[in-house]
């Protein structure tokens, strides 16, 4: 709750700036997004291009997807970049958003200590791996923060027929980067989006990918504009320009290139209509 109050406070301040910029200031857009786009470094890599092209400033509030969507409902954001399809569909059905478009995807992976106390390395079924972690009561760090990653984790536990509880299961209530740091310190397992995990390998974490390749771990991202009829302060003109830019082929190419030089692979796979139809 404290984290959400801080996020709301930051967002409210930024929204006030968007609605009434001082003369001569750049136009401002408030982007509420998941922590993975921030923690991976993607936004730092691509947003300056939009800001230069459109003489604008993008203020970023990075929280779990659930919190980002709530910021949209509460009229405390102009545009959202999130990764929880069921929650996004609900948001649109409520009339809280007016434009939703696919942007990119990657996948979730189960990471853990090299010693692998639960014996899950090499499995391709996430539910089986979770069941083995629970049976071994091996430490597991959960986001526990209403994020898209947490929602996917809960779906995997449900598929395994397990309600996780006990000293071995730790709900951190933190973003993805912080959870990976904690899992590394405690030699614990965690569910992570691949991009944030790979980005954190550059900072020296020792966790290894244990389970990957399960179709249930597919992780798509969408961009959504908050409904200006419900939220009159939404900068809808700049938000539409942002979406047009984000899904354009040149920006999608930037997304495809992100991570290649440092890690030898793309951290996100572009997936906009323009990219797929190019």
Least confident of 89-93, 169-173, 221-225, 264-268: 264-268
Report whether pLDDT(236) > 80. yes
**pLDDT > 70 in the chain, percent:** 91
Under the phi-then-psi rule, with left for phi > 0, alpha for psi from -120 to 50, and beta for the rest, what region is 144?
A: left
Residue pair 107/219 in contact (Cβ under 8 Å)? The answer is yes
Report whether pLDDT(227) > 70. yes
This prediction's pTM: 0.84
Closest-CA residue to 118 (of 103, 102, 100, 131): 131
User: Which structural domains are found in the chain, ordered by start?
Assistant: 2-106+221-276 (3.40.190.10), 107-218 (3.40.190.10)
Residue pair 113/141 in contact (Cβ under 8 Å)? The answer is no
Res 8: pLDDT: 40
Report whether pLDDT(23) > 60. no
Res 24: pLDDT: 57
Average pLDDT value over all residues in the chain:
90
Residues 6+ apart with CB under 8 A from 7: 61, 63, 67, 71
Residue 218's DSSP bridge partners are 107
Q: Which helix (H) or strand (E) holds 89?
A: helix 85-93
Report whether pLDDT(18) > 60. no
């Amino acid at each position: 709750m404290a984290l959400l109050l801080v996020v709301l406070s930051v967002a409210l301040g930024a929204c006030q700036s968007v609605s009434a910029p001082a003369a001569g200031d750049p136009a401002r857009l408030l982007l509420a997004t998941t922590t993975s786009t921030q923690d991976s470094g993607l936004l730092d890599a691509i947003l300056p291009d939009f800001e230069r092209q459109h003489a604008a400033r993008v203020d970023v509030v990075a929280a779990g997807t659930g919190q980002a969507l709530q910021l949209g409902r509460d009229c405390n954001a102009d545009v959202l970049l999130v990764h929880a399809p069921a929650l996004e569909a609900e948001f649109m059905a409520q009339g809280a958003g007016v434009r939703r478009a696919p942007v990119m995807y990657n996948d979730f992976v189960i990471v853990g200590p090299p010693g692998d106390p639960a014996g899950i390395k090499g499995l391709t079924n996430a539910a089986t791996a979770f069941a083995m972690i629970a049976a071994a009561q091996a430490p597991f760090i959960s986001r526990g923060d209403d994020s898209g990653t947490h929602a996917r984790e809960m779906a995997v536990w449900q598929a395994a027929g397990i309600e996780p509880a006990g000293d071995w299961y730790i709900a951190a209530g933190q973003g993805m980067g912080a959870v990976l740091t904690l899992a590394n310190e405690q030699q614990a397992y965690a569910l992570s989006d691949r991009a944030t995990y790979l980005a954190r390998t550059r900072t020296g974490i020792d966790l290894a990918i244990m389970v990957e390749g399960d179709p249930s771990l597919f992780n798509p991202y969408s961009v959504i504009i908050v409904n200006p009829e419900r939220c009159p302060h939404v900068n809808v003109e700049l938000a539409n320009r942002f979406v047009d830019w984000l899904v354009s082929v040149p920006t999608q190419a930037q997304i495809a290139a992100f991570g290649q030089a440092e890690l030898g692979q793309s951290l996100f796979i572009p997936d906009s209509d323009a990219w797929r139809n190019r």
